[in-house]
Amino acid sequence: MTDEFAAVFDWNDPALMTVFDEAPLWSAIFGQVLLEHVPLAPGLTVLDLACGAGFPLLDLAQRLGPDCRACGLDTWLNGLWRARFKQVALGIKQVALIGGDGAAMPFAAGSFDLIVSNLGINNFADAHSVLRECARVLRPGGRLALTTNLRGHMSEFYTVYADVLQEAGRADLLPALEAHIAGRTTVAAACALLEEAGLRVTDVYEQTFSLRYVDGSALLRHSFIRMAFLEGWREFLPPGEAVAILRRLEAALNRLAAREGELRLTVPLAYLESVKG
C-alpha cells in the first residue's frame, strides 16, 4: 500500500533550510505573545533557549538594542547555521550562537538577566533538568519567559481521531491516543515544574488561536503538519494499519469540514514568566 502520509522531510536537509522561514508561522504566533509580554530593559544579557533557526532571538536582540548581549542555544546545529546566516545578512552584532543541550548548559552560574524560550519546554526530553539549569544560569532576580501550547491543543482533530479508532474496531488504541494527548502540559503542571526548579511564577497569560484548513486532506498534506505533527499522530498505530487508519481519519475530517464549512483547530497557548528568588 502506498503511504501518502510518510514523513518526507529531513530537518537537516540543506534545501529545506533555505526555505525554512516559511515553516515557523506556527512558532510566530507564540513568539508574538512572548515579544508582547517579555520584560525589556537596557543592557540585558539574554539567552534564547532552544532558539532553533534564530526565533525570537534575532528579533529580541534587535528590540533590546546594540548594548544587549544575546545568546542562542540549541541542540539543532543546522538550525543554528540558518540563524547565523540571517544574523550575518541582517548585520546583527550582539548575538552569539552556541550548540548545546539545555539540560547541561555551557554557561557559568548567574550568567543571564533574562532567558526566553519559545516552544522549548514542550520539546525538551527532560524539562525538569532544563528548568533547573535555567535557575542555575540566571542571576538572582533574573527572569525566565517561556511559551508553550497546552493540553486541549487541536481538540477538534483528536475527537475525530478517537471516533475513527472506535469505528475501525481499534478501541484498544484509544489509551495510546489519550497518552499522546496527555503529553501536552497544562498551566498548573508547567507552573509546578518551574517552582520545583526554584523559579517563582509571576505572570501567566493564556489565549487560544485557530489553525484553519479547507479540509482534512489539506491538513494532512500541509508541509509543516507533516514535519512537526504527523509522526506523533501515527507513531502508536500498528505499521501495517497506519495508512488505512489515516485514510479513514482524512475522510472523517473531510466530512466534518463539509458540515462546518472548513476545518478549524483550536490551539490554547500560555506565556509564563518566572523569577529566580
Ligand X SMILES: C[S@@+](CC[C@H](N)C(=O)[O-])C[C@H]1O[C@@H](n2cnc3c(N)ncnc32)[C@H](O)[C@@H]1O
Residues that bind ligand X (CB under 6 A): 24, 27, 31, 50-52, 55, 73-76, 79, 101-103, 118-120, 123-124, 130
Which CB sits closer to ligand X, 98 or 168? 98
Q: Cβ 97 to ligand X, closest distance in Å?
A: 12
Q: Cβ 115 to ligand X, closest distance in Å?
A: 12
Q: Cβ 240 to ligand X, closest distance in Å?
A: 31
Which CB sits closer to ligand X, 134 or 173? 134
Which CB sits closer to ligand X, 74 or 113? 74
Q: Cβ 256 to ligand X, closest distance in Å?
A: 27
Burial of 236 (0-12, 13-18, 19+ CB in 10 A): middle
Q: Cβ 274 to ligand X, closest distance in Å?
A: 18
* Rounded Cα–Cα distance for residues 165 and 71 (Å): 45
* Rounded Cα–Cα distance for residues 277 and 270 (Å): 22
Q: Which residue is nearest to ligand X (CB)?
A: 52
Reading the block at residue 174, the C-alpha cell is 484509544
Which CB sits closer to ligand X, 122 or 254? 122
Which CB sits closer to ligand X, 44 or 127? 127
Alpha helix stretches (DSSP H) within the chain: 14-19, 25-37, 57-64, 77-90, 127-137, 155-167, 174-182, 187-196, 216-221, 223-228, 230-234, 242-260
- Coil, strand, or helix at residue 2? coil
* Rounded Cα–Cα distance for residues 4 and 220 (Å): 9
